Amino acid sequence: MDWKYVKKHLKKKTVPRILLMVMCLFYLLPLYWMVATSFKGSEELSSFPPTLWPHKFIWQNYRDAVEYIPFLKYFINSLIIALGVTAGSVLSNSFIAYGFSRIQWKGREVLFLIAIATMFIPFPVTLVALFDIFAKIGWINTYLPLIVPSFLGQALYLFMIRQFLMSLPKDLSSAAIIDGASEFTVFLKIMLPLMKPVLAVVAIFSGVNAWNDFLTPLIYLQTEDLYPLSIGLQFFRAEHNVAFSQLMAASTLAIVPVVILFLLFQRFFVEGITVGAVKG
What is the structure's pLDDT at 164? 87
Under the banding of pLDDT at 50, 70 and 90, the label for residue 6 is low
Mean pLDDT value across residues 108-133? 89
Structure confidence by residue, pLDDT tens digits, 52-93: 788 888 788 888 878 787 888 889 999 999 999 999 999 999
pLDDT of residue 2: 56
Above 70 in pLDDT, residue 185? Answer: yes
pTM to 2 decimal places: 0.81
Torsion angles phi and psi, residue 221, rounded to 5: -100, 130
Give CA–CA dist 254/232, Å, rounded. Answer: 11
**173 or 276, which is more confident?**
173
Q: Which CATH number fits domain 65-279: 3.60.70.12, 3.40.720.10, 1.10.3720.10, 1.20.200.10?
A: 1.10.3720.10
Question: How deeply is 21 buried, as exposed, middle or buried, from its count of CB atoms within 10 A (0-12, 13-18, 19+)?
Answer: exposed
How many Å apart are CA 134 and CA 132, to the nearest integer?
6
How far is residue 66's CA from residue 59's CA, in Å, rounded to a whole number?
A: 12
Domains in the chain: boundaries: 3-38, 65-279
3: pLDDT confidence band, cut at 50, 70 and 90? low
Helix pair angle (155-166, 108-117), 10° resolution? 140
CA nearest neighbour of 146 among 100, 92, 78, 243: 78
Q: Please report the pLDDT score of residue 280 as a whole number.
A: 42
- Please count the residues of the chain: 280
